[in-house]
Amino acid sequence: MMTKSEKMAEWILSISYEKIPQNVIQIAKQQLLGMLGACFAGSTTIGGKILLETIKGYESKPDASILPSGVKTSVLNALYTNAAFSMALDYDDYLCTVHTGTSSYSIPLALGEKLDISGKEYLTCLIIGNEIEGRVGLAVYPPGEGQMQSFIHAAGGAAIAGKLLGLSKEELINAFGIALYQAPLTIPVGFWGPHSKLLTSSIPAKIGVEAAYLAKNGFSGARTIFEDPQGFCKYMSEANFEKVLDSDLGKAWVTLSLSFKRYPGCAYVDSIADALFKILEKVEKEGKTLDYHEIESIKVSNSLLSTMMDDMSRPFTHIEEIKRVKSPIALNFYQPYNIAIILIDKKLTPEQFTMERITDPEVHELAKKVEIAPDIGMSAKSAQIVPYGDIPKPDFHLGQWDFSKWKMYCGCKIIIKMKTGEKWSAKVDIPMGAAGGKPYPMEKKFSQEAKLVGMEDSQIEEAIQMINNLEDYAIRELIKLLVVN
């Protein structure tokens, strides 16, 4: 009987651009645009700048580029840094239960630059990363807190690098065994506030790529790393969901469930922002202004998961702690801050996460007026996003789920009461850009963040055109366009 690693390896080595449906290809291009936007934005943060200076201090072979600076370093250092940048403001995309994009986009960029791969090869590898990492995430139940399922990037690193390095099936099986032998786990206290959160996908992605290199040179790993009684799934999961690992590879595309972020912050922040901008639009249409000084209270209803994330981040959101860690990370999860800064600044971009803004006492004072409460209906919808109850059924396979019709219920309702007694409210079920919601073109996100790092309009337009027609170009050509001198 074939092992899970063997079946996954067979699919990875057999898949090519021509075998991937065009709707999957198109969403992967949107993913690349969005992840590059997240990378550019993250490079401007204090943590991002410290990381870049640290990597520049290493002596390494100049095989790949750190974006958008164009600093040349080793493949491992480049993917490590670019992945961290895209994680810095929680601005990355997500699918099913996990965040695959930070490693899926950065590994084939770095290794692809060294190997001079084509755009078709790049897109194939980006999608391989999504498909393998997405399935590894689904195999672990109960799921972790999204990004905190960091071990998926080790599997994705082995898969993508294995494909690009031309590993044999046996070598790729070994690569999975090596990569997941010491499967990385995040420690929550290091996730919610300090710069260490930037490395959530960087460290495991690097482990995965190193595993592929080791396997290519004859290093061995466990053949049954996933399903063995002493293997990954038994250690990580409370339920036997390992069947999803190799289920309908090449037929069911988890990539189609991708949700894209319009704003920096956790997924439910997008709903919060959408609802608040609806309110501000209503106020403007009525010819009025919403003076945040005159707000009496702000009540938010959303899912239990959203309120739990808020509770977990709260201990790290005090101004003193933010000044200590010099990082906005906790605030990317904290609804009161995001609500307050939107009402004051009338926007939510990386500019709202500079040290000046995140330590502004006026913003934190307004945040105290926010009350968060779970809503039963919204919690029920959120719990139904992934129909986990299907998986234990004997005849279940992933093709039974239509990922093209995925709905990312991440709703909220906001009621703002003014001191005059006047009330303003808005409700959102699915944020713009998320699966099942109104589309938000990632060209807009890419343009916004490319301008943030100083890219000229003509360069932006050319880069977007190249990404949307990436089949006709080599990755080295694209990387040249992504560098800001």
Chain centroid offset of residue 37 CA: 12
Query: Average pLDDT, stretch 167-194?
Result: 96
Judge whether 37 and 445 are in contact, CB under 8 Å: yes
For the CA atoms of the chain, what is the radius of gyration? 22
- d(Cα 464, Cα 64) in Å, to the nearest integer? 21
Q: How far apart are CA 130 and CA 125, in angstroms?
A: 9
For residues 55-83, give the mean pLDDT. 97
Tokens of 289: 């202004």
Which residues contact residue 26 at a Cβ distance below 8 angstroms, ignoring those fewer than 6 apart? none
Phi, psi of 237 (to 5 degrees): -115, 140
Least reliable range by pLDDT among 58-62, 145-149, 327-331, 421-425: 145-149
In whole angstroms, how far apart are CA 412 and each of 263, 273, 352, 438? 16, 10, 21, 16
Q: Mention every residue, 6+ apart, whose C-beta is less than 8 A from residue 480.
A: none
- pLDDT of 470 higher than 90: yes
Using omega within 30 degrees of 0 as the cis cutoff, is the peptide bond preceding 142 cis?
yes
Q: What is the DSSP letter of 147?
A: G
Averaged pLDDT, 368-382: 95
Tokens of 432: 């713009």
* pLDDT for res 402: 97
Each residue of 292-318: pLDDT tens digit?
Answer: 999 999 999 999 989 998 999 999 999
Instruction: Write out pLDDT tens, residues 1-15.
Output: 899 999 999 999 999
Q: H/E element holding 296?
A: strand 295-302
- Give the C-alpha distances (Å, rounded to integers) separating 287 from 167, 226, 290: 64, 60, 10
- Contact (CB, 8 A) for 150 and 203: yes
Q: Which two tokens stand for residue 140?
A: 């672990």
Question: pLDDT of 166-180, one tens digit each?
Answer: 999 999 999 999 999
Within a 13 Å sphere around the CA of 256, how many CA atoms are in the beta-carbon half?
A: 17
Q: Cα dihedral sign for 220, 81, 126, 408? A: positive
Q: What is the pLDDT of residue 145?
A: 73
Residues with Cβ < 8 Å from 309, sequence gap 6 or more? 145, 266, 268, 333
The CATH class of the 267-377+408-428 domain is: alpha beta
Please name the CATH architecture into which domain 4-257 falls.
Orthogonal Bundle (1.10)
Residue 485's pLDDT band (cuts 50, 70, 90) = confident
The string of DSSP codes covering 319-337 is HHHHHHHT--GGGGS-HHH
Q: Give the angle 179-185-186 at the CA atoms, nearest 5°.
A: 140
**Residue 1 confidence (pLDDT):** 83
Confidence band for 97, pLDDT divided at 50, 70 and 90? confident
Please report which confidence band the pLDDT of residue 144 belongs to, taking 50, 70 and 90 as the band edges. confident
Least confident of 69-73, 182-186, 195-199: 182-186
Mean pLDDT of 458-469: 98
State the average pLDDT over residues 195-200: 98
β-strands 71-73, 64-66 pairing: antiparallel
Residues 65-85, mean pLDDT to the nearest whole number: 98
Confidence of residue 216 (pLDDT cuts 50, 70, 90): very high
* Residue 132, burial from CB neighbour count under 10 angstroms (0-12, 13-18, 19+): buried
**pLDDT score recorded for residue 39:** 98
Would you say residue 411 has pLDDT above 90? Answer: yes
The pLDDT tens digits of the residues spanning 431-446 come to 999 999 999 999 999 9
pLDDT of the residue at 142: 86
**pLDDT value at position 317?**
97
pLDDT band at 146 (very low <50, low <70, confident <90, very high): confident
Domain ranges of the chain: 4-257, 267-377+408-428
pLDDT in tens, 313-350: 999 999 999 999 999 999 999 999 999 999 999 999 99
Inter-residue contact 44 to 350 (CB < 8 Å): yes
